[in-house]
Amino acid sequence: MEEFLIFLVGVLVSGFGTVIGFGGGVFMVPILIIFFGFNIEIAIGSTMAALVPGSIIASVFNLRDRSIDYLVGTLIQLPAMAGTMLGAFMVAFLPVFKLQLFFAVFVLIVGAMMLTPPKPKVQLRHTGVMYRIRRAPTSFIRKNRAKHMAYRINGGIISTFGFVSGVMAGLFGIGGGFVQTPMMIKLFRIPPLIATSTSLFILVITSFTGFISHFLLGNVLWNRCLPLMVSFAIGAFAGNIIKQKRAKTTNLEKLIGIGLLLAGVGVLLNLAIRSNFGFSF
């Protein structure tokens, strides 16, 4: 019975995570700990294992749909890997518990902002910090001819952002997808469809490296993670079907806002769980 419930929850979490570009790991870890009695290490290891097939299936769909920006993904992922190592090293020197509380509140605020209806644009404003950043010397136009989309990015700023998201991932022990996706949309004005697909492409690499790390640490128990891996694969398949059929009618930004609110709650739950288990930050 428990295996079936985990399977069902995994399908739902993976499907929703695929639609909004998060993958679902930030939701699944606290669920496994609170409702199914997993210890923290096994919950994280099982979720990392499940994210591998889920992110691969999602990326195959997005590859066929031509909605992945590989350049943006690379500019984010490579610095993020270095940032993750630095963040893990900084854990010993910083008050991570307090920082994570602040981070959870920040995520909740960003989620609320994503749900707030945009103000009507009276005229185009060619002012502001982000406008100048996007037109700095390292900025250039990206075109997606298949989707008839074009957007301007700044390679240097995106790489810096990738590094910062990696530091947060290493510092707080969380995935960066639910940070990267809304920032791509809000700060760099990358179309939501491209941002979510690119975030899932990045997740292929991060989930695989995380899976290998936890496997070597003995945190991957196959009898625990196999049902979850199958459920995440099915959820990713279903999520992509929904995403493709409702791409023109579903407001991705609102769904991402809901996902951020849930992610913020998930981070707070992780904090409470780790405190109860006596983790020292």
pLDDT in tens, 53-65: 999 999 999 999 8
Give me the pLDDT at residue 82, please. Answer: 86
Give me the pLDDT at residue 249, please. Answer: 41
pLDDT in tens, 156-203: 889 998 898 888 776 665 666 778 888 888 888 899 889 999 999 998
Backbone angles phi, psi at 157, to 5 degrees: -70, -40
The pair of structure tokens assigned to 116 is 């707030």
Binning pLDDT at 50, 70 and 90, where does residue 274 land?
Answer: low
Binning pLDDT at 50, 70 and 90, where does residue 16 land?
Answer: very high
Give me the pLDDT at residue 238, please. Answer: 93
For residues 2-25, give the mean pLDDT: 90
Binning pLDDT at 50, 70 and 90, where does residue 9 land?
Answer: very high
Give me the pLDDT at residue 134, please. Answer: 55
Residue ranges per domain, the chain? 2-276
The pair of structure tokens assigned to 5 is 């419930």
Task: Give bridge partners of residue 142 from the DSSP assignment.
Answer: 151
Residues in the chain: 281
Give me the pLDDT at residue 155, please. Answer: 87
Give me the pLDDT at residue 91, please. Answer: 64
Question: Is the model more confident about 130 or about 268?
Answer: 268
Asked if the model's pLDDT at residue 75 lies above 80, the reply is yes
Long-range contacts of 149-155 (CB under 8 A, 24+ apart): 149/191, 149/193, 149/194, 151/188, 151/189, 151/190, 151/191, 151/194, 152/189, 153/72, 153/188, 153/190, 154/188, 155/75
**Please, what is the average pLDDT of the chain?**
82
Asked if the model's pLDDT at residue 44 lies above 70, the reply is yes
Give me the pLDDT at residue 83, please. Answer: 83
Binning pLDDT at 50, 70 and 90, where does residue 119 land?
Answer: low
pLDDT in tens, 83-100: 877 876 776 677 767 777
For residues 102-114, give the mean pLDDT: 83
How distant, in Å, are the alpha carbons of 121, 158, 240 from that of 181?
A: 24, 12, 16
**Of all residues in the chain, what percent carry a pLDDT higher than 90?**
22
For residues 11-40, give the mean pLDDT: 87
Contact by Cβ (8 Å): 203, 78 = no
Give me the pLDDT at residue 234, please. Answer: 96
